[in-house]
Amino acid sequence: MNNIDKKNPFKTPKGYFDSFQARLMDKLVQEEPNVPKNDGFQVPEGYFENLGNDIGQKLKNETKVVQLHPFKKYYIAIASIAAMMLLVLGLNMNTDKNIAFTDLADSDIEAYFDTHELDLSPYEIAEMIPVDELEVSDIIQNQIQENHILEYLNENIDDFEELNMIENE
């Protein structure tokens, strides 16, 4: 870039653009315009009369249509099948078919007993619970607060005499 001549080789004479418009107008007035009298474009004779027949003839000639993407529909079908397979495999990957009793929430068990009548008295339920498997630590760890007991009794017991288990035996 340093070797390039910084001088502009194209120069205009001094005062060239000052009198340019006047010189141009003088030249236009003196000479006849150089514009051709004909536009140079001609339509062949009878062109528009035969145009309909020519177009009809070209339309009658059947041309073969070559598809640019002949395998495109197969690619779409394969891609959709692959997507469905991935979806099915992804949904079945983390399913565990072994459901245990410990998977149930306490609220679900309580809701079941609330909605289904078992026709069992508290004594019959107590007879089913194996006492020899109970540990004292099980009872001690689940300490029930006094206000919860009173709230439960207010909601579920109609007659306080039912609570007196000594007389019912």
Phi and psi of 162, rounded to 5°?
A: -65, -25
Question: For residue 114, is it within any domain?
Answer: no
Distance of alpha carbon 80 from alpha carbon 74, whole angstroms: 10
What is residue 97's predicted lDDT score, i.e. its pLDDT? 67
Question: For residue 39, is it within any domain?
Answer: no
Question: For residue 96, is it within any domain?
Answer: no
Question: For residue 26, is it within any domain?
Answer: no
Question: For residue 143, is it within any domain?
Answer: yes
Report DSSP state, residue 154: H
Question: For residue 33, is it within any domain?
Answer: no
Question: For residue 149, is it within any domain?
Answer: yes
Question: For residue 165, is it within any domain?
Answer: yes
Q: State pLDDT tens for residues 31-76.
A: 676 766 777 788 888 888 888 888 888 887 777 777 777 788 888 8
Distance of alpha carbon 80 from alpha carbon 72, whole angstroms: 12
What's the total number of domains in the chain?
Answer: 1
What is residue 3's predicted lDDT score, i.e. its pLDDT? 55
The dihedral of CA 73, 74, 77, 80: what is its sign? negative
| Token code pair at residue 56 | 């009809």
Residue range 11-28: average pLDDT? Answer: 83
> pTM of the full predicted structure?
0.22
Residue reference for tokens 């009198």: 19
Distance of alpha carbon 30 from alpha carbon 22, whole angstroms: 13
Biggest CA–CA distance in the chain, Å, is: 141
Give the range of the structural domain holding residue 159, as residue numbers without chain letter.
122-169
Distance of alpha carbon 103 from alpha carbon 12, whole angstroms: 96
- Which among 143, 156, 164 is positioned nearest to 110, based on CA atoms? 156
The answer to whether the beta carbons of residues 158 and 164 sit under 8 Å apart is no
Q: State pLDDT tens for residues 95-146.
A: 666 777 777 787 887 888 778 877 777 778 777 777 777 777 766 666 667 7
